[in-house]
Amino acid sequence: MESQFDIDAPTETDARTPYDVTADVAGIKTLFVNVFFIGTPGPGNPWVLVDAGFMGYSKQIKKRAEQLFGPGAKPDAIILTHGHADHTGSLETLLGEWDVPVYAHKLELPYLQGKSSYPPPDPAIGGGGMSYMSWVFPIGPIDLGDHIQAIADNGKIPELPDWRAIHTPGHAPGHISLFRDKDRTLIAGDAFVTTNQNAITAVATQREEFHGPPAYFTCDWQAAKQSVLKLNNLNPSAAGTGHGVSVRGLDLKLGLNKLAHEFDARSIPSEGRYVKQPAITDENGIVDMPTPVSFHVARAIGWGLLAGVLWYALWPNDDNTD
């Protein structure tokens, strides 16, 4: 296996994180979801933020931005791979200080302009603690007002001229990935991930393994499969994903290729609300959805897991008692 940081990785030792992709694409993890900073590090250099992470992480995002681009660093724009709550949680707080445009695919706009909630999660699939608790995750909508605008149909974003947005639906109707052709650098969002996001233990350890999108929020599995095939055909040299560490070189080539060719067996659940019939959406949001699959057992397990987390967090111990 190749080193996590090879010749194409960032060169500043004190700035390295497992989520950095290349010398000019840095990343950090916010609780269990990643955000990326595209731009050559240096005071005053232009840069773009990709996704806005989990709620409550605006200070950490701004701190990392200032480490990379200097005091008071502000992006030229924010690009959303999609609008799920874990990717937009700190967005409104950041926009309160950064008056910058926000770009998303036109099929994501109804969920970001207050018009429609996302298709609800399916906690009965995925087979892990994150899946079982997914029914408590917010599904919106949020309203970003005049900040939000659609990415052009050709995938070009003015503030990011060397990159192109690629529509990679499945996990969300307007999900996009970002690709830079000159060095084949990819930001995949949740089109595929490099940890088993369905399982709490994998999320906690960040164990590297290639997976399709987080199962509990994926609303069109055949579209998700085609998106992975599309990204594999780009033959990326380095990739950052929405969940899990960044990968590059032979590790990426072998892992993504295997996932693409074994997607049905490795990623598509045998049963679930959206497995046989996808959610139908358009530019106004939800049009039609399949009948819910009973998930009372999954919901009960989710309640138990939440209770366990709260008990662990609040129970007195030797460190906080006299």
CATH code for the domain of 149:
3.60.15.10
Structure confidence at residue 15 (pLDDT): 58
| Percent of the chain scoring above 70 in pLDDT | 86
pLDDT of 308 above 60: no
Asked if the structure places residue 204 within a domain, the reply is yes
Q: Which domain holds residue 90?
A: 13-276+292-309
Name the pLDDT band for 96 (thresholds 50, 70, 90).
very high
| Percent of the chain scoring above 90 in pLDDT | 76
* Residues 6+ away with beta carbon under 8 Å from 39: 24, 45, 46, 47, 48, 68, 69
* Residues 6+ away with beta carbon under 8 Å from 265: none
Name the pLDDT band for 198 (thresholds 50, 70, 90).
confident
Structure confidence at residue 2 (pLDDT): 37
Question: What is the number of structural domains in the chain?
Answer: 1
Q: Could you give the angle at the alpha carbon of 102 between the alpha carbons of 71 and 114, nearest 5°?
A: 130
Structure confidence at residue 131 (pLDDT): 83
> pLDDT tens digits for 269-288?
988 999 999 999 999 999 99
Structure confidence at residue 128 (pLDDT): 78
How far is residue 268's CA from residue 252's CA, in Å, rounded to a whole number? 21
Alpha-carbon torsion (151, 225, 33, 187), positive or negative: negative
Name the pLDDT band for 297 (thresholds 50, 70, 90).
very low
Asked if the structure places residue 49 within a domain, the reply is yes
Token pair listed for 161: 């001229």
Average pLDDT, the chain: 89
Structure confidence at residue 321 (pLDDT): 39
> pLDDT tens digits for 7-62?
344 444 345 899 999 999 999 999 999 999 999 999 999 999 999 999 999 999 99
Contact of 88 with 141, CB cutoff 8 Å: no
Structure confidence at residue 65 (pLDDT): 98
DSSP 120: P
Asked if the structure places residue 4 within a domain, the reply is no
Among the listed residues 235, 269, 239, 287, the one whose alpha carbon sits nearest the alpha carbon of residue 123:
269
How far is residue 25's CA from residue 240's CA, in Å, rounded to a whole number? 9
Among the listed residues 304, 281, 164, the one whose alpha carbon sits nearest the alpha carbon of residue 234:
164
> pLDDT tens digits for 150-188?
999 999 999 999 999 999 999 999 999 999 999 999 999
Asked if the structure places residue 283 within a domain, the reply is no
pLDDT of 311 above 90: no
How far is residue 6's CA from residue 20's CA, in Å, rounded to a whole number? 11
pTM for this prediction: 0.88
**Residue 202: helix, strand or coil by DSSP?**
helix
Residue-level length of the chain: 322
Token pair listed for 75: 């992006």
Average the pLDDT over 127-142 and give the result.
85
Q: Flag the least confident range among 90-94, 128-132, 153-157, 221-225.
A: 128-132
How far is residue 260's CA from residue 266's CA, in Å, rounded to a whole number? 9
Structure confidence at residue 317 (pLDDT): 47
Asked if the structure places residue 220 within a domain, the reply is yes
Name the pLDDT band for 316 (thresholds 50, 70, 90).
low
Residue 86 dihedral angles phi and psi, to the nearest 5°: -75, -15
Asked if the structure places residue 76 within a domain, the reply is yes
Asked if the structure places residue 140 within a domain, the reply is yes
pLDDT of 195 above 80: yes
- Residue-wise burial string across 167-182, b where 16 or more C-beta atoms lie within 10 A, e elsewhere: bbbbbbbbbbbbbbee
Structure confidence at residue 135 (pLDDT): 83
> pLDDT tens digits for 254-265?
999 999 999 999
Structure confidence at residue 283 (pLDDT): 97
Helical ranges in 150-248 per DSSP H:
200-205, 221-233
Asked if the structure places residue 320 within a domain, the reply is no
Structure confidence at residue 87 (pLDDT): 98
